[in-house]
Amino acid sequence: MEIEKIAEIIKQNGGTLYLVGGAIRDEIIGRPIYDRDYCVTGMTKETFISLFPKAKILGKSFEVFEIEHNQFALARREQKSGIGHKEFEIETGVEITIQEDLARRDITINAIREKCFNR
C-alpha cells in the first residue's frame, strides 16, 4: 500500500501522519533514505489496528506498527521513571500533539518534521 493511501486512511479517521526521525536527517545531508519512520497523531492504538489489521506489531515498551517495511508509531509522551535510558512511563492518546512527540526525541535533528501528509 502506498504511503499516500495510508495517510489518506489515517486522515479520514481523524489522524495525521508525519515523516520523522532518521529519514529527515538523511535527506538533509544528502544520504539515501533506507528507513522511513512515521508518527501518527490523533489516533488510538485500537483504531490504528482496526484500520490496518495486517500491520505487524513491534516493540516491547510501546507498539510500533510495520506496514510494508515502514514503521508507524503513535504520538507519545515519555516520563523518566528510573535509572538509565530504558525506564520510562509511556503515554499515548489522541490529544498528544506532534510537537509533544518531537520534544521527547533524543537527537535534535530527529525532531525535525518533514511534512504533514494531510495538507
Contacts 24+ apart (CB under 8 A), 116-119: 116/16, 116/17, 116/18, 117/3, 117/4, 117/7, 117/11, 117/16, 117/17, 117/18, 117/19, 118/7, 118/10, 118/11, 118/16, 118/17
Residue pLDDT, tens place only, 39-83: 999 999 999 999 999 999 987 667 799 998 899 999 988 766 667
> Is residue 15 pLDDT above 90, yes or no?
yes
What fold does the segment set 3-94 form as a domain? Beta Polymerase; domain 2 (3.30.460)
Domain boundaries, the chain: 3-94
Q: What is the pLDDT of residue 87?
A: 64
pTM for this prediction:
0.79
Tell me the three cell numbers of residue 41: 497523531
Q: Are 10 and 17 in contact (CB under 8 A)?
A: yes
Residue pLDDT, tens place only, 85-106: 666 677 778 999 998 888 877 6
